[in-house]
């Protein structure tokens, strides 16, 4: 497949809080011919991990709420219900990211992880891939405001009964991709996961 596309040049088009690279490339068409050289901008922010914390004893899940500039014009406004999530640092294992972010964003400890999937966030404009997990946690004392002060994070923790959380996705109240994918997976695997993790 590498013979079917050619990178002519890549340059940094913008460097701020995030980075945008400009690619000059061409690729083979389905009929075997080649496209002209195309110019495409690509949002580069690294790859991410997101985890849906689940307490099988209480049969509750945890979601976090925070402000997102990309949702300023979205129905419901810019405060979104999301999974615990973070960017993967160089050479950091994905399970370590899930555990680190659960502590930073929600003040909880993840004891077990079940991988859901890895998906491309929006491959028409970003290289980001997100790995999703569901993680076993004790949510009996979960709540409050969390986040890293040096990153200006302001994260509110919510817990929901399993059925209520699934309805949040069905009603598009948890309307970002990671939350919808994880909650739909959870809806299909809830009974199996509860039986497996319930002590």
At 144, is the secondary structure helix, strand, or coil? coil
* C-alpha distances out from residue 103 to 80, 109, 131, 174, 192, Å: 19, 6, 18, 21, 26
Pairing type for strands 129-137 and 48-55 reads: parallel
Residue 65 falls in the annotated catalytic set: no
Percentages helix, strand, coil for the chain (3-state, rounded to 5) are 25, 40, 30
Q: What tokens does 126 get?
A: 């970003």
The catalytic residue among 11, 101, 151, 172 is 151
- Where do runs of H (alpha helix) occur along 26-149? 94-106
DSSP 32: S
Cite the active site residues: 151
């Amino acid at each position: 497949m590498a013979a079917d596309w050619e990178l002519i040049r890549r340059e940094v088009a913008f460097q701020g809080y995030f980075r945008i690279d400009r690619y000059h490339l061409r690729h083979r068409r389905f009929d075997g011919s080649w496209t002209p050289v195309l110019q495409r901008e690509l949002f580069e922010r690294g790859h991410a991990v997101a985890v849906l914390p689940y307490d099988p004893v209480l049969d509750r899940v945890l979601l976090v709420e925070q402000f997102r500039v990309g949702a300023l014009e979205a129905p419901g406004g810019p405060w979104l219900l999301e999974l615990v999530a973070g960017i993967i640092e160089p050479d950091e294992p994905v399970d370590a990211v899930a555990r680190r972010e659960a502590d930073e964003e929600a003040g909880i400890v993840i004891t077990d992880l079940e991988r859901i999937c890895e998906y491309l966030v929006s491959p028409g404009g970003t290289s980001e891939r997100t790995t999703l997990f569901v993680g076993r946690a004790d949510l009996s004392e979960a709540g409050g405001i969390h986040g890293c002060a040096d990153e200006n994070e302001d994260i509110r923790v919510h817990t929901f009964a399993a059925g209520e959380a699934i309805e949040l996705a069905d009603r598009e109240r948890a309307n970002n991709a990671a939350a919808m994918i994880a909650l739909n997976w959870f809806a299909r695997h809830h009974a199996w996961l509860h039986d497996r993790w319930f002590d």
